[in-house]
Amino acid sequence: MRKRETNWPVMVFLILGLSTIVFPLYMTIVIAFKQPSEMSNTISGILSLPKTWSFDNFREAMKVTDFWRSLGNSLLITIVTVVLSVLIHSLMGYALGRNKKHSKFYNFVYLFIVSGMFVPFAILMMPLAKQTAEMGLANWFGVILLYVVFYMPMNVLLYSGYLVNIPFALEEAAKVDGASTWRTYWKIIFPIMKPMHATVAVLTALAVWNDVMTPLVIMAGSSQNTLPLAQLNFQSQFGTNYNLAFASYLLSLIPILIFYLVCQRQILNGVVNGAVK
């Protein structure tokens, strides 16, 4: 319909802004390739290119973190959490979002759950460590279950916020056709929330991917590692190997970046524009 024209002032703004990203990224990459003896406390020293571009740091970092196994564990936890979050939280967001305006009960449940966002994790940690152990959940499953609970407030907030912009008329139409509420949800509402699913997926995946505390506390003592847990190996009070650490962080950045790039297309291609008429 419209001509594809480029908004050049915005392009210039974005390109200038990019320097705030490129500079730290450049430092990360350069440091990841250097040897500890090449580290320096002068500007020219730290910004200089490494003497040799060898992947030794990456190989070593992969060895130290037992990369493929840790990656596998991290992927498993993240994927299952994201799938469950999208299914469960969207349902809850729908039930609460559609009812909170006219029902005191649902409004209370909504506020009750959203306020869970503000419980400092530190106060839950000890009781949860005990509780999960008593319930036999001091394992992957327990960690995933906890994630589903921890991110519920944020995601319910997101989903019910999104629903405000989705007209009620869409459901009415389906109901007239005799579809049950359950069916209407999966057929009409769930697909229409696709941009929000993508947003929720990205935010949840990111939070889970980088989280150290939950697996540390819940699975304490087991030798199973997630990537962030394994990456703790690089730092201790009396010495940190930044070169290996940076190499490892660069490696663990790739999967989540790919996931984001895939999801952001979904955020973009929202169906709402076409559907709401």
Give, as ranges, the residues between 211 and 270 that touch other proteins (CB under 8 A). Answer: 216-217, 220-223, 228, 231-242, 245-246, 249, 252-253, 256-257, 260-261, 264-265, 267-268, 270
Among residue numbers 21 through 60, which ones bind other proteins (CB under 8 A)? 21-22, 24-25, 27-28, 31, 36-37, 39-43, 46
- Establish if 92 lies at the interface with other proteins (CB under 8 A): yes
Q: At a CB cut-off of 8 Å and minimum separation 6, what does 154 contact?
A: 117, 203
Chain center to CA of 261 = 13
CA distance 70 to 226: 5
User: Considering only residues 60, 69, 91, 170, which one is a binding residue for other proteins as defined by CB under 8 A?
Assistant: 91
Mask: binding to other proteins, 190-209, rule CB under 8 A, as x and -?
Answer: xx---xx-xx--xx--x--x
Least separation in angstroms between CB 246 and other proteins: 6
CA distance 219 to 147: 14
Query: 3-class secondary structure for 4-66?
Result: CCCCHHHHHHHHHHCHHHHHHHHHHHHHHHCCHHHCCCCHHHHHCCCCCCCCHHHHHHHHHCC
Among residue numbers 105 through 164, which ones bind other proteins (CB under 8 A)? 106, 109, 111, 113-120, 122-131, 133, 138-141, 144-146, 148-150, 152, 154, 157-158, 161-162, 164
Q: What is the dihedral of CA 70, 58, 28, 259, to 10 degrees?
A: -40
Least separation in angstroms between CB 48 and other proteins: 14
Number of residues that bind other proteins (CB under 8 A): 136
**Number of Cβ atoms within 10 Å of the Cβ of 123:** 9
**Residue placing its CB nearer to other proteins in the complex, 28 or 69:** 28
Among residue numbers 59 through 78, which ones bind other proteins (CB under 8 A)? 76
